[in-house]
Amino acid sequence: MGMKERDRLHAVRNILEGRITQSEAARLLHRSERQVRRLCAKVHAQGERGLIHGLQGRLSNHCLDEKLLGQALSALHDPLWEGFGPVFAREKLEQIYGMELGKTTVRKLMIGTQLWEVSRRGKRHRSWRERRPRAGMMVQLDGSPHDWLEGRGPRCTLIIYIDDADSCVSYGEFVDEEDTFNLMSTTKIYLLQRGRPGTFYVDKDSIYNVNRPANVEEQLEDKDPITQFTRAMGELGIEVLLAGSPQAKGRVERGFRTHQDRLVKELRLAGISTMKDANQFLHETYIPDHNRRCAVEAAEPIDMHRPLLASHDLDAILSHQEDRQVHNDSIVRYDNRFLLLAEGHGLRPKTKVVVQERLDGTLRIARYGRYFEFKQVQARPYVPEQLRRAKPRPVVVTRPKLPRNPFFGGIRIGSRPTTHSSVAVLS
């Protein structure tokens, strides 16, 4: 019997013994006089037991079947379900076994069997940034290295493109690592599928930001150093905006926290152990289901993606580009390789050209939109010494030394012309 029941019993006994009236007891218990008379009747008929609720100690009429709960617990104890959270576990129980259980029920089952531990995160207040009103105005881009295949396959990185306006995952792909070439490759697919967004919102990784001061040449040209990815996006008219903190681009960061929980388990349940199968599952199953559950409607139903123009040569723009000089023997050096230009190229020595290393591994040499034929050689071709010099050396003529004449104070005879004034003095 709890404290509330004991207070009621004390009041009822005072009524039955004539110490207080029913109206006074009703005011003390915050009940009506009619309810007080019912309590008195129960105590008179059943004793103290009459004040205890009739269902106390008995199972609820709405409790679930023990057999159903046992089946759910056996499924939750499966090694494949290790690490599942209550919400995700409830969805999979309904999807795979057809068990319709509530989130609270599954949570209590998992906590009671020590399959789930309650944890609370400390929250730090940050200013709220309003979403972009239209899709395509800002796309948050980031990569997450993780053991996505849980040892069944190689470690890889998931690159995600998520729209800031509606939280829709526009594209995603598993790659070996998050480097410039893989990022350009995934960006090329995104641009072909969706078009050019207004802004890519990224972190301050070295792929997007040059973390060094400008060198002397850049200072003379009054240019800030940029990365290859930022240069390529600038040629496409796409702004690369750097976030000051992970919380600033929280849509993609919180999304990775969800993907590292759900996607890992989805790949485990599907028995996927290769990156190729993981990408197929990601595009055909996971991303559509994730967008159906998590995407929201944009404030304005207008897509701001711009189409690619005919002048946008993606193979050339999305490439690693470096400036090089043409040497006297028509050789262009790049990455410890000798690139010999074909005859008739018309480029003078020390002319600057651009070497493009494209996504397929091929090289191009260009200058102002014109491409030059070349072949890679193992070493510099032999050029005779007399032809190797661009300019002949000047011939230096040395004059013989003249003897000194002590009569003229040690001045060499013939070293300077004799004037009339000097002759007059000597005479």
Average pLDDT over residues 396-401: 60
DSSP 314-330: HHHHSSEEEEEE--TTS
pLDDT of residue 300: 93
Q: Is the pLDDT of residue 244 over 70?
A: yes
pLDDT in tens, 171-196: 999 999 999 999 999 999 999 999 99
User: Could you tell me the pLDDT band of residue 406, with boundaries at 50, 70 and 90?
Assistant: low
Q: Identify the residue whose tokens are 């967008």.
A: 291
Total residue count of the chain as it appears in this document: 427
Q: Is the pLDDT of residue 30 over 90?
A: no
Element (H, E) at 376: strand 374-377
> Which residue, among 331, 318, 291, has the nearest Cα to 230 in the 3D structure?
318
pLDDT of residue 31: 85
Average pLDDT over residues 267-278: 95
Q: Give 244's DSSP letter.
A: S
User: Could you tell me the pLDDT band of residue 304, with boundaries at 50, 70 and 90?
Assistant: very high
Q: Is the pLDDT of residue 394 over 90?
A: no
Q: Do residues 375 and 381 touch, judged by C-beta distance below 8 A?
A: no
pLDDT of residue 418: 46
Element (H, E) at 367: strand 363-367
pLDDT, mean over the chain: 85
> Which residue, among 310, 362, 355, has the nearest Cα to 333 in the 3D structure?
355
Give the 3-state secondary structure of residue 66: helix
Give the 3-state secondary structure percentages of the chain, helix then strand then coil, rounded to 5. Answer: 40, 15, 45
Q: Which two tokens stand for residue 192?
A: 């072909």
pLDDT of residue 297: 94
Q: Is the pLDDT of residue 126 over 90?
A: no
pLDDT of residue 298: 94
pLDDT in tens, 149-163: 999 999 999 999 999
Q: Do residues 321 and 228 touch, judged by C-beta distance below 8 A?
A: yes
Average pLDDT over residues 111-128: 74
Q: Do residues 287 and 155 touch, judged by C-beta distance below 8 A?
A: no
Q: Which residues contact 298 (CB under 8 A, 6 or more apart)?
A: 131, 132, 133, 134, 135, 165, 166
User: Could you tell me the pLDDT band of residue 398, with boundaries at 50, 70 and 90?
Assistant: low
User: Could you tell me the pLDDT band of residue 200, with boundaries at 50, 70 and 90?
Assistant: very high
Q: Is the pLDDT of residue 238 over 90?
A: yes
Average pLDDT over residues 285-292: 95
pLDDT of residue 218: 63
Average pLDDT over residues 388-394: 56
pTM exceeds 0.75:
no
**C-alpha distances in angstroms, 384 versus 60, 137, 326, 377, 394?**
102, 60, 19, 18, 19
Element (H, E) at 423: helix 420-426
Q: Do residues 31 and 20 touch, judged by C-beta distance below 8 A?
A: no
Q: Is the pLDDT of residue 390 over 60?
A: no
Alpha-carbon distance of 164 to 195, in angstroms, equals: 16
> Which residue, among 223, 255, 229, 254, has the nearest Cα to 242 in the 3D structure?
229
Q: Which two tokens stand for residue 368?
A: 């102002």
Q: Give 218's DSSP letter.
A: H
Greater model confidence, 12 or 335: 335
- Is 139-213+222-294 assigned to CATH 3.30.420.10? yes
Average pLDDT over residues 219-230: 79
pLDDT in tens, 315-374: 999 999 999 999 988 999 999 899 999 998 889 999 999 999 999 999 999 999 899 999
- List the single range of 44-58, 77-91, 103-117 with lowest mean pLDDT: 44-58
Q: Is the pLDDT of residue 401 over 70?
A: no
